[in-house]
Structure 1
Amino acid sequence: MGNKGAETRERLLEATQSLVEAVGYYGAGLNQVIADSGAPRGSLYFHFPGGKDQLVGESVRRAGQAISADLRTLAEASPGAADFVTGMLRHLGDRLEESGWSKGCPVATVALETAATSDALQQVCSQVYRSWEADLRARLAGRPDADDLAVTVLALVEGALLLARAHRDREPLERVGRQIAALLG
């Protein structure tokens, strides 16, 4: 694939990621993806012959990798697990607020809307969540309860993001951050 093809594919993925995160799987129509990306309609099916599920799956995977990269950067800059989680919540809260409360978790809406109806999308969402659990587990290494804590922290963060988005307020993130800090000691 040439540079132009790679650029077109990238624009399609960026448009899909932004739309899916803001309005969900069902709200992100292919016509809107094409309009937002500026890509020709034929490019969509050339780059994503599996259609919308392939396009959304790859955009979710890509968004998950971006969050993982952010988590690794935060982990390197954080002296302890509690500092890491506080930084993560601040970063996610900034991202959410700067987007006008439309960019919470890039996986949650797709998981909720499609996990029961699309095996392919359910697997992508599961893989992304498992990678985040692994990132958290690595930061909690050495603790006998690292596996349980990683899932607990992820669930608390996901719930806080949902509440912050629903309330259009960072307070749920701040409250959950304090509780996670206390939990991690």
Structure 2
Amino acid sequence: MLDAAEQLVLDRGFDAMSVAAIAAGAGIGKGAVYLEFPGKNDILDALLQRGTARLRERVRNEIGEHPRLGDAYRASARALIEDPLMTAAFLDDRGVLGDHVIEVRDGRYRERHLGVVAWLRDLQDSERLDPEVDAEALALALSSATIGLLSAARLLGPLTAAQLDGAIDALGRMAASVEIG
């Protein structure tokens, strides 16, 4: 059901997607969708939660539980760029997520940012990151750089995978410059 919903969101956008189309795509009745999800917004929330878990799992499988900052940035940025739904979520893409991006007021974006700040502070506490670096400022800089990469092709014209990978590597090296050891 969620696979069908994700494909519809990516193909048509959330606003144009219907519960009936999800049911048809999943080969089930419309009522079965409503048994799982009270409404259409709940489906998108489930898709975004699943996407976030998918990104975390991919990054964890690639770099392990205690990565260095530069490696974590590279793996996270690559995973995000290769995931169209999560790219749309990261950019608040109304073409994909529709009015949902305006309606979300639950602080999830701030919560995600604070999670990165906490992780950076943990790196500082474990003496793996320069304690003089402002963790909140670094989290904002890394997020802003990622947003720039995700939207670069729209602003600069087509970019090759090699160009994006080179930019990710450069940002990973910059992030690594504040690591200790």
Instruction: Pick the TM interval, shorter chain.
Output: 0.5 to 0.7
**Alignment TM-score, normalising by the size of structure 2:** 0.68
Task: After TM superposition, list the pairs within 5 Å mapping 1:30-69 onto structure 2.
Answer: 30-49=19-38, 51-69=39-57
**Matches of 1:137 and 1:74 in 2, distance apart?**
21
Question: Which residue of 95, 101, 115 corresponds with 2:101?
Answer: 115
Counterparts in 2 of 1:131 and 1:149: CA distance versus 1, 3 Å: same
Counterparts in 2 of 1:72 and 1:154: CA distance versus 1, 3 Å: farther
Task: After TM superposition, list the pairs within 5 Å mapping 1:2-81 onto structure 2.
Answer: 12-49=1-38, 51-76=39-64, 80-81=68-69
The AA in structure 1 aligned to 2:115 is: A
- SS at 1:131 equivalent: helix
**Matches of 1:61 and 1:48 in 2, distance apart?**
14
Long gaps (5+) in structure 1: 1-11, 97-101
| Cα offset, 1:181, TM superposition | 2.2
Q: Which residue is equivalent to 1:6?
A: none
Higher Rg of the two aligned structures:
2
How large is the RMSD of aligned CA atoms in angstroms?
3.3
Deviations 1:96-126 (A, max 9, x none): 5xxxxx555252365643232x2xx443xx4
Counterparts in 2 of 1:110 and 1:54: CA distance versus 1, 3 Å: farther
**Matches of 1:108 and 1:22 in 2, distance apart?**
18
**Matches of 2:117 and 2:158 in 1, distance apart?**
26
> Where does structure 1 differ by over 6 angstroms across 4 or more consecutive aligned residues?
none
**Matches of 2:66 and 2:57 in 1, distance apart?**
14
Task: After TM superposition, list the pairs within 5 Å mapping 1:80-95 onto structure 2.
Answer: 80-93=68-81, 95=82
Deviations 1:67-123 (A, max 9, x none): 123333344277521122223333344x35xxxxx555252365643232x2xx443
Long gaps (5+) in structure 2: 125-130
- SS at 1:34 equivalent: helix
Matched-pair identity in %: 17
Question: Which residue of 131, 149, 166 corresponds with 1:174?
Answer: 166
